[in-house]
Amino acid sequence: MKSSIGSFAGPSRVVPRGKLQFVVGLLAVHSLRLCLWGSMVLAFTSAQADLSYRPSAAHLYAIESTDGRVSFWYGTKHKKIGLALLPPFVKVALKSRRYLAKEIITTNEDGSDRVEPLDEGSKPNSEPPQRRSRAELSPRAKSELLKRGVPEYVFDSPMLCTFYLSWDDQAGPTMDTAFELLARRWRKPVIGLDEANDIKESLAKLRDDLKDCDIEEMTRYVPASTLSLESKRSDLQYLQGDLSKIEPCDELCAKRTATWLNKIEALHQAAGVFVVSGVAHLVGSAGGIDLLRARGYRVTQVESLTQMGELLGRDQASRNLKKTR
């Protein structure tokens, strides 16, 4: 039996060497094109992986009082997740309400960044966290920071540990700021929920939490690759719209949530409000949902345009009834 590398159908059929080389070459070119195309698709999907998945549900909750008036509370993730990824009824809810209320106002009326340095009376009393100068950082630590996307211009910051843990190098504003900018464009008043003392206390706690943080140790035991995977896992959990998968607030966070309620109620009675806060403020017995229910409000998750239409219909009927009285 004669064997040949060119045998495709047994010993009775032998492909000439020249033709075989042509076929092999053609297959190689075709395989290369497929590989290049696959690489392009993989590169594109990988580049979009953080933000291209659409949420299966939104953390949007309707707040309905006994007279039929409706406000909304949206729980965000403090990351740069585009509002275009959210269901359309989220923007409908925002546009339908007179006010936007959020934790801290971050823009001016023209949409520019709002930066207000702390005055002496509001600066935390605790010692600043440990810091290393850029020159003191080891090459390994610098490499991990850069892998995380942290730019070199913040390497001297005393908040470097926070930047390393939470840095988001996606383009655009965070969800919270994106809602604020949209409200500005629609000329809605933007109300800050946190008072100066709340901000002062939060900053003091953050500094206390970070004062013993060493970025060399942090990057050694928590590499950038681990943080990136955890961040993607956390994003996917958030986008499922299931509060049972969200960690509740700590004590200070819960305290802030409770202080917001009177302001939210006043805005609700005035003309309706769209509240924006970190989603953790909605979770658990100390979260906004349970606190509002304890005050007699009906709070439900909004899951469709049909449901949104029914809510706004009841709200309009309530306001029309008030006008006739």
Per the listing, tokens 């992986």 go with 49
pLDDT in tens, 107-125: 888 878 876 544 433 444 4
* Number of other CB atoms surrounding residue 269 within 10 Å: 13
What per-residue confidence (pLDDT) applies to 32? 44
pLDDT in tens, 199-243: 777 777 766 666 678 888 889 888 998 888 888 888 888 888 889
- Alpha carbon 274 to its chain centroid, in Å, reads 18
pTM: 0.72
Name the pairing type of β-strands 99-102 and 273-278: parallel
Q: Amino acid identity of 302? A: V
Name the residue among 34, 203, 17 with its Cα closest to residue 117.
203
Mean pLDDT calculated for residue range 97-102: 96
Cα–Cα distances (Å) from 157 to 129, 162, 221, in that order, read 10, 10, 20
pLDDT in tens, 267-277: 999 989 999 99
- Alpha carbon 153 to its chain centroid, in Å, reads 24
pLDDT at 40 over 80: no
* Domain locations along the chain: 1-48, 60-324
pLDDT at 82 over 90: no
What DSSP line would sit under 132-199, residue for residue? --GGGS-HHHHHHHHHHT--GGGTT-TTHHHHHHH---SSS--HHHHHHHHHHHTT--EEE-S-HHHH
Distance (Å, rounded) from C-alpha 174 to C-alpha 76? Answer: 9
Tokens of 223: 């590499």
What per-residue confidence (pLDDT) applies to 55? 58
Q: Which residue has the higher pLDDT, 226 or 323?
A: 226
